[in-house]
Amino acid sequence: MKITYLSHSCFLVETSEYTILIDPFLTGNPLAPVKAADVRCDAILVTHGHGDHIGDTADIAKANDATVISSYEVIDWLSRQGVKKGHPLGLGGGFNFPFGRVKLTVALHSAGYKPEGSEDFLYLGVAAGVLLTAEGKTIYHAGDTALTLDMQLIGQRNRIDVAMLPIGDNFTMGPEDAVLAAEFVKAGLVLPMHYNTFPPIKQDAEAFVAALAEKGIKGNAIKIGETITV
């Protein structure tokens, strides 16, 4: 399995047969290494309805005839944007897809979308994290979240090979809480995300990885555009 970091909270996961995109915020993202029009995928996982996560989902899904997996409210809204293949999940619910199993986990965060030109937010359900299991590997993408004791259950009930954890602070947990989250989920490898895109969430990913190492946890401050194999 290959994982490519496309900045912010966006990752591209490639199995032997499928490509899964997570939280595709590319347009309007100053750090994005690719354009939305250049992305190819079979499925898109969206953790919640904020613009920096739902991002280019509609355009990429329509261009690739991709299946979008997210909360009921996000899928309903995307269907009204012309997305034909959507699969809604509730928190704690999972489903087996051709590429693997997806389950939504609890995340402590808000979820709403502000359409361009509008002064009002659309309610788009609740925020979530994602467990993606494919080819014998399990990835935990925490989405936007505060530190929560629920992460202990995730670590107890799943063998997490890779955890993608936000470290930006301000809108999500910061580095210190993310280290504790890494201990909770017992991940084989931790990748920081949701940092440095904008000034309020500027962080030192290498310092975070060093803090993980002090706890005996393997981390990788994966570079934007870099691909790793797990």
How confident is the model over 2-32, as pLDDT tens digits?
Answer: 999 999 999 999 999 999 999 999 999 999 9
Determine the structural domain holding residue 101 and report its residue range.
2-229
Separate counts of helices (H) and strands (E) for the chain: 6, 15
Residues of the chain with pLDDT under 50: none
Tally the domains of the chain: 1
Residues recorded for the chain = 230
> What is the model's pLDDT at position 92?
97
How confident is the model over 27-63, as pLDDT tens digits?
Answer: 999 999 999 999 999 999 999 999 999 999 999 999 9
> What is the model's pLDDT at position 112?
87
Cα gap 182→177, rounded to integer Å: 9
Question: Is 14 within 8 Å of 42 (Cβ atoms)?
Answer: no
> What is the model's pLDDT at position 118?
85
Question: In which order are the strands placed within the sheet that holds 189-193?
Answer: 94-97, 100-106, 128-134, 137-141, 162-166, 189-193
Torsion of CA 171, 176, 178, 179, to 10 degrees: 170
DSSP string, 54-119: HTTHHHHHHHHTPEEEEEHHHHHHHHTTT---EEEE-TT-EEEETTEEEEEEE--S--EE--TT-S
> What is the model's pLDDT at position 116?
81
Cα gap 90→169, rounded to integer Å: 26
For tokens 């939504």, name the residue.
Answer: 104
CATH code at 36? 3.60.15.10
